[in-house]
Amino acid sequence: MPWDRIGAASFRRVNLLGRVPSATDLVKAEAARASSDPDFRWLVDSIAAAEKLRGEKALSLNLDERKAERERLDAERLARENQRRKAKGEPVFGSLEEMEKSLSDQASSVDGTGKTPDVLLERTTQIMGDVVAGLPAAPETLARKQSPAAERR
């Protein structure tokens, strides 16, 4: 029956093989971006700390040792956050309480939606931008962050 057949779509064949960057070029560009992105370094360090903590098989029953361990972990977390803030040019936190209060306030008011920036989504977008547009000479010039006004359109 003629009505149960779909006609062929017209298209133009395009050769993209010359424009698509190789996997090694993409890895090099991503490594360059990763070394200069404080948010990504913070995420990698936080994951490494969580994996280290998850890998521990023993837990002390001594309350003083547990408190000392908790203080050490909190100090490491504060140091990671302050390192990220310093690299981004933001003021560092003086105490863990100040950091937790600021982060809870930020989580409820970022962009008016309560969402915090997604580091992995940004990285994925930049890599995909490299694939689609072809790898430029300077990887940091591709896939720049859009202004909040441009994202709302």
Domains: count for the chain: 1
The answer, as to whether pTM is greater than 0.85, is no
The answer to whether position 6 is within a domain reads no
How confident is the model at residue 146, as a pLDDT? 42
The answer to whether position 73 is within a domain reads yes
The answer to whether position 152 is within a domain reads no
Cβ of 33: how many Cβ atoms within 10 Å?
A: 19
Query: Which of 30-34, 51-55, 104-108, 130-134 is most confident?
Result: 51-55
The answer to whether position 15 is within a domain reads no
The answer to whether position 128 is within a domain reads yes
Decide if pLDDT at 23 tops 80.
yes
The answer to whether position 109 is within a domain reads yes
The answer to whether position 83 is within a domain reads yes
70 lies in which domain range? Answer: 23-144
The answer to whether position 115 is within a domain reads yes
User: For 72-91, what is the mean pLDDT?
Assistant: 92
